[in-house]
């Protein structure tokens, strides 16, 4: 057996006999999130009606919290506002707007936590429900306030009566849907995921 240098001895596995190929590059692309309309349509209708029904609670709270106006009966039988009592018109509107603001934030956050239904369809349903709920709160709130503070049937001059609260502006109706959209939009922006973390089996 002839001697060979150590560096020249044939190795049992030579690189030329067994070439090494690089592993194939596999790239995985996540599916592009899409807006689901048909599957979210029925839950969206349920959300719209549920948020709108909150207007009953808001209207009842307003009828209990809004202060009435005290007026004095004049000689001709008309009711005239006492000093500083007309400011309660502003108080009534502010209380209604604060209640709508709180209801809008609660509705937006609550709908966001419906994780399996996150998306624009549900958000639009919550906003529409907020608009309907604000109108319902104003309508039933006025009716309940009139029932709580009825005008006396028989009055005489110089009598002081309490008149039910009033809502002289309808701009407060915009606050509920705007706050719902704002709360939902802020939470969606903080989420940072393409599918908003939606989990639907």
pLDDT tens figures, 133-179: 999 999 999 999 998 888 777 777 767 777 888 898 888 899 999 99
Confidence class for position 64, pLDDT limits 50, 70, 90: very high
Spatial distance between the Cα atoms of 99 and 61, rounded to a whole number of angstroms: 8
Terminal Cα-to-Cα distance of the chain (whole angstroms): 72
Q: Using the predicted structure, report yes or no on whether residue 106 has a pLDDT greater than 90.
A: yes
Instruction: Tell me what percent of the residues of the chain surpass a pLDDT of 70.
Output: 77
Q: How confident is the model at residue 37, as a pLDDT? A: 72
Q: Which residue has the tokens 């609260």?
A: 165
pLDDT digits (tens, 9 = 90+) for 188-197: 988 877 777 7
Confidence class for position 14, pLDDT limits 50, 70, 90: low
Domain segments of the chain as ranges: 37-191
Task: Give every strand in the sheet of 69-73, ordered side by side.
Answer: 79-81, 69-73, 160-163
For the entire predicted model, the pTM comes to: 0.75
């Amino acid at each position: 057996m002839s001697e060979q240098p150590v560096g020249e001895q044939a190795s049992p596995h030579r690189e030329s006999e067994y070439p090494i190929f690089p592993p194939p590059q596999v790239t995985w692309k996540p599916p592009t999130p899409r807006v689901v309309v048909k599957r979210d349509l029925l839950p969206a209708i349920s959300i719209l009606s549920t948020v709108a029904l909150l207007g009953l609670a808001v209207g009842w709270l307003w009828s209990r919290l809004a202060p009435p106006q005290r007026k004095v009966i004049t000689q001709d039988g008309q009711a005239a506002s006492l000093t500083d009592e007309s400011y309660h018109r502003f108080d009534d509107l502010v209380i209604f707007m604060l209640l709508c603001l709180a209801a809008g934030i609660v509705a937006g956050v609550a709908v966001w936590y419906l994780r399996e239904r996150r998306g624009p369809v549900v958000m639009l349903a919550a906003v529409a429900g907020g608009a309907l709920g604000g109108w319902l709160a104003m309508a039933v709130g006025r009716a309940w306030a009139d029932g709580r503070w009825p005008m006396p049937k028989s009055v005489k001059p110089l009598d002081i009566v309490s008149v039910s609260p009033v809502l002289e502006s309808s701009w407060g109706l915009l606050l509920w849907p705007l706050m719902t959209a704002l709360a939902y939009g802020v939470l969606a922006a903080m989420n940072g995921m393409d599918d908003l973390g939606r989990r639907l089996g």
